[in-house]
A and B are shown apart, each in its own frame.
Chain A
Amino acid sequence: MEDFMKYLAGVASLELSAERCTGCGTCLDVCPHNVFALENKKAVILDKDLCMECGACAMNCPFGALSVDKGVGCAAALINSMVTGGEPTCGCSEKKDSGCC
């Protein structure tokens, strides 16, 4: 992981419940930023600032031990939703004026 690939500090919404975790390691498989490691047969968060909130871990954790407020980390999409009051989407799937992803 290169150092510049870290976004704002202390904002990621990732939460891990140690009670629910069984140490199966699925989160280590799906996380694209090496946020997790296994310690004493439990998953731990190595560095929360590396998390980009893609939601892969929460989606695939069989025990519901992970939660994250997932969404598009895209300024254009969020500005769009502010202007229109709708959900943040980049408009990619609408097949018009797609400005991102």
Chain B
Amino acid sequence: MSTPQLKFIDKRPGDKSQGPFVPVRKGFQVRPPWGTGTFKAEAGEAYRVSTEVTRSDLWEHFKCRTSSFRDDYTVRPGLYAAGNPHSNSDVLVSANYKLSFDHLRRELKGLDVWIVVLDTKGINVWCAAGKGTFGTDELVRQITSAKLDRVVDHRRIIVPQLGAPGINAHTVRQMTGFRVHYGPVYARDIREFINAGYKATPTMRTVRFNMADRLVLTPMEIYPAMKKYYPWYALAILVAFGFQPAGIIFRDAWQGGMPFLLLGLISILAGAVLTPLLLPIVPFRSFAVKGWIVGIASLFVASRFPLFRQTSAFLFFFTYIFFPLASSYVALQFTGSTTFTGMSGVKKELRISIPIYLVCTVVSLLLLVIYKLGQWRIL
């Protein structure tokens, strides 16, 4: 059995046609700039992809890392080609999140391979595998709908290793005849993996978490904290300081509240940025403890500035109880982004820390109330 050589129709300059691609957002990316042409595959028209990542791709990656933009950033599932693949070319599997797909295609320069993109609802390979959307059923479905058994003569597919939590290789083989080879963790090792005869070294099999890996994740740690908690906190602080017997005084709200609004920001940054960056050097394994340590250290540094010097004992205790715990809570959220924290550990942390957070939040509020009552000379 052999497949005739594919006819690639190269993209003509100025061609604005949509091709087989569905725009993911209104007014945005009508045609994928990385589609260099189309080809007729067994199951219909499909794209050949560029292996170049352009400046506009990088800008979109930046947006993926810094905003909820990433939630809509999908690639259409199905079959793609890189280079001039033929019936004996390798088949690589990826997720339909733009960032995942781009990480793969930019490593394919000079290779002739097929790419099968699974519908992971715009989620990266590892997370999707954890949820099961990058899973056995979806892989079987895409292999079948692309008629992969007629596109290639061989029966091997390369699945990223981090897809393994969702894929049962044994079942895939039983249902489709294709044998799953687990590729390297990182797309940058794919060429070496193929050249070595589908063998990964232990280094290729190991996930890492270096400074740059952690740094790119920090904006999406700040974002939810700022969105979910900070507005309520800011409101509470402004009301607490602005509330006077004469009514809400905006000048008091701002003058009294501003240092605390800033301390709130500092505690979020301590938990969402400093703790992830300093992860290897902050003692203890618990993220709640790490966050608390970084939080209180940041507070000590901040307290050297006259703006944050507390004259009231109640506000002093409020500051030192509340802010380190806020950092701790935010740092604990980072467990969702690391490459090494597991559910049993997070559950244990939550069992211990949630009651502490709740009690201390109540105590903090009481301290604020007592401070206010003292200020009004009620106490």
Contact = CB atoms under 8 A, between A and B. Distances in A.
Tell whether A pairs with B: yes
Interface string B197-208: 000101001111
B242 interface: no
A60 B117 CA distance: 21
A98 B85 CA distance: 37
A69 B344 contact: yes
A93 B206 contact: no
Contacts of B165: 54-56, 59, 70
A18 interface: no
Classify chain B's interface size.
Answer: 35 or more
B68 A70 contact: no
A32 B279 CA distance: 19
A7 B71 contact: no
Interface of B: 68, 70-72, 121-124, 126-127, 129-131, 133, 161-162, 164-170, 182, 185, 200, 202, 205-209, 220, 223-224, 228, 279-280, 285-287, 332-333, 335-350, 354
A55 B70 CA distance: 26
Nearest to A61: B170
A100 B167 CA distance: 22
A7 B341 contact: yes
Contact of A8 (B124, B164, B345): B345
Interface in A30-65: 30-34, 50-56, 59-60, 62
Which of A8, A9, A95, A96 neighbours the largest number of chain B CB atoms within 10 Å of its CB? A8
A73 B205 contact: no
A52 B337 contact: no
Interface residues of A, number: 54
Given A98-B68, A101-B123, 13 more contacts: A7-B342, A8-B286, A33-B207, A34-B205, A34-B206, A52-B339, A52-B340, A60-B164, A69-B344, A75-B335, A78-B347, A88-B343, A100-B220
29 contacts: A1-B206, A6-B285, A11-B348, A13-B344, A30-B164, A32-B207, A34-B206, A53-B344, A54-B126, A54-B129, A56-B164, A59-B165, A59-B167, A60-B167, A69-B344, A71-B343, A73-B335, A73-B343, A74-B333, A75-B350, A76-B224, A76-B333, A89-B131, A90-B336, A95-B121, A98-B70, A99-B336, A100-B224, A101-B336
Which of A50, A54, A97 neighbours the largest number of chain B CB atoms within 10 Å of its CB? A54
A37 to B, nearest CB: 10
A58 to B, nearest CB: 9
A53 B70 CA distance: 26
Contact of A52 (B129, B185, B341): B341
A100 B333 contact: yes
B122 A7 contact: no
Contact of A74 (B166, B169, B202, B336): B336
Contacts of A55: 130, 165
A93 B133 contact: yes
Given A29-B182, A29-B200, A73 B164 contact: no
